[in-house]
Chain A
């Protein structure tokens, strides 16, 4: 395994583009090192991006949007009061990953690029409408985050491409987000089901909504029918029931060591309702 620690994204791209065999980028390493230790993936080339300027920064832009460096850790996000105030669901989703120790290293980008349908931060990013900068041999483009996952363990990034920044939209007024996951313990588990809800209200009425589900399909899902169930409602029982039904209907899970098809499908509806209530309360302030 060759270890590289470039100081610019262009260097990182060149190394990755020229590398033979398996290449991995190293930010927090909380997945890469586990796979290495478990003899699942031993990269031929490992590119540590933490020495690149800006990768540790959390910046709020003039328009209220946020740019997060790709090496920003969960702990750094949780400690950022303004980010927490504006995007509590996104920060909480990130914070749910692993232990305090894992929070000291794990990153949004790593969670995304690991390609797990059960990644906690990914449904929250989907719901929040996060975009990422993808830098490759042909330059940098901005891509909605939901276009990154391709299937379990797979992304749509091409050889030589990497994510170079995370962009979180401006919160604006009347917005609120939430993420909930189901795990059998209180901590340390992989989500059996995850659900992100992001919405905006005018008065009591929901005007915009986005609902995402994790661990119920090969990739994280954006569930349009679930969003439709919310839009125009005041989150009354009928809307919540429609939401739950739409969430359950969108599920295409597997039965595995963490949960059954039936369990995941049912709990997706339960979590959607609970997350929607939290997001709604937050949006109303």
Chain B
């Protein structure tokens, strides 16, 4: 797509901080989330899940449940499409989704769905689910990434391996990535200090507070309606249609308000089950997951095991770097190891670099995207080694990063040369921030880290309809996960030259717009924002045409200024500015409704870098860490609504703090998840955190009309490493495994053995 000239200042709306349009509904309890709607005659669905990590499903006896009062339908795998077949690689992904939604021959992890029941109340459905008897033949299991690659590991599924995987590897290794450039050997030989180390991270869950919920109706005529909390309802439509053998357009999906997603609601879990139950019972079916099932059966991020080797000269120049990244993503291919590999060394301009990634299957739930999938773990490993090098060579961590920083025109670790990027600007802003020069108190340590994420564009369709009174109905297709309706309305108002309040932005259902890719990849403000601007410009063109017709001049003799059509120059004649509302008031009689459109796949999502500074204190007697100060510096390209940008920065940092210190999936020897609840899956609570300072750097993205870069994901990339560096400094010992829980810190300190 050809890009127009970049506008980065002189804005009336952009950069202001208006109230969000969904604010009132959300503070009064009126906003409707996934579980908040009902339908007449509605049934409740409950899913029966495997208690085993790996087991053959011998028999499912549903007779007792079916005989119970109020039970209207039971479904198993037989109630889903048999047209979807397994295959290696992305071609097999729909089968993987089906297999995850409802197990076939085998249960592949603790929590894997094996059957479902619908009944007249939630309690009746729960009672019936308990009455479904599943006979299992338990199989050997493996849940650890390194153990799953060992020769004696049980094979989770034959035939899932892509051709790219080198020969001789265990069948659980299903995908492989290798990239880089330069002569590693020569690079390491040039170094004054080479550090080689191994790091591990545990799987963490996105931890959204709203469990997955949906309400589906599907008739025998193949027509369906679905309400659900999702980051992408067109994807839900596509997947449900495939899994149930429907025509896609016969299923209309409406996205509810979404109570957090962070990547975890890009996947489909319960929606096809509700529709299958509905088809069988011929009634609407609502399914609301309970929290334990959210942890057991929806996507956590990958766990990793990583080997890093970096060489540095005494002056801080990195001479060579290599990394080996093993990522476990559950019983299906898809762990984001290629992103782990490609993001690992992205902040650095390296003469010699190599990154290798392995996607490994284990008996765990199918991983789902989590905020910059794969990147935070890589940053943890790489930035920890950079920190060690700086410490041992007596170098300032920010100066050293600046010395090696990727800039426009340098070659990225994954190949291409960088376009305009803002890493250096974030490092300089971090260095200048008062936090960086504040003296540390006794017992505190300070850590710094950079982080990188690609960001994404994706299929986008927007429709902007003008009302007779001159107000605007803006329909976008990307569920609002962070305040995007406000940002979209601001961009539309900016282009149209009308007040922000005159634009009502709604998230359209799948019947209303063309395909919109999921709200992921930090794409919404970038892509839907670009689409909104283009749709507004399309509407402006049509408005100008109406003015031209009224004035009897050429269309290109009219321009748009401050919400009015005006003659473009003295030759166009002397006409009073014609405000938008005056044109729309007569539009029925001057050519009909005026609607601006944009449908395309924007290909200019600018990448984003961040630098974080953290101070931590460690109680050396108990191993407990306190985060005492936190500063986020990140390149937003252009902040449309700065308050919401700050919110993304702060939220990413807080999730990173949880990941670094306490959050982890804990599996027992039996392969069962031991902490499937917020009691023992410990996300940060209000009293755990300090205020989080958010500094917005703006290095415009040439791929967006206003320079916007996505901001949602990069904020979770630096925290793990920044905190590990701070904790290691405070404790006086290097922490190489996440989470840095108190027992791990005490063990590292050698306080007990």
Contacts and interface: CB of A to CB of B under 8 A. Distances in A.
Q: Is there a contact between chains A and B in the complex with CB atoms less than 8 Å apart?
A: yes
Interface string B613-634: 0000000011110000000000
Contacts, number: 66
B64 interface: no
B520 to A, nearest CB: 29
Contacts of B751: 266
Contact of A257 (B621, B674, B747): B674
B619 to A, nearest CB: 9
Given A38-B292, A185-B685, A260 B743 contact: yes
Contacts of B411: none
B741 A185 contact: no
Contacts of A182: 622, 624, 742
Interface string B709-753: 000000000000000000000000000000001110011000111
A267 B680 CA distance: 19
A259 to B, nearest CB: 6
A61 to B, nearest CB: 36
A41 interface: no
A188 interface: yes
B684 interface: yes
B746 A184 contact: no
B571 interface: no
Interface string A189-228: 1101000000000000000000000000000000000000
Contact of A270 (B621, B662, B679, B685): B621
B165 interface: no
B621 A189 contact: no
A265 interface: yes
A189 B126 CA distance: 28
Contacts of A39: 126, 130
A38 B295 CA distance: 14
B743 A189 contact: no
A262 interface: yes
Interface string A261-279: 0110111001000000000
A20 interface: no
B541 interface: no
Nearest to A192: B742
Main secondary structure of the interface of B (DSSP, over half): loop
Interface string A219-250: 00000000000000000000000000000000
Contacts of B743: 259-260, 262-263
Contacts of B685: 185-188
Contacts of B177: none
B746 A266 contact: yes
A56 interface: no
Contacts of B131: none
A263 B623 contact: yes
Nearest to A273: B621
Contacts of B679: 188-190
B747 A190 contact: no
A184 B682 contact: yes
A184 B662 CA distance: 7
Nearest to B624: A184
A171 interface: no
A101 B126 CA distance: 27
Contacts of B292: 38
Interface string A35-60: 00111000000000000000000000
8 contacts: A184-B662, A185-B682, A188-B682, A260-B743, A263-B752, A266-B751, A267-B621, A270-B622
Interface of A: 37-39, 182, 184-190, 192, 256-260, 262-263, 265-267, 270
Top 4 A-B pairs, shortest CB-CB distance? A263-B743, A186-B687, A266-B752, A262-B752
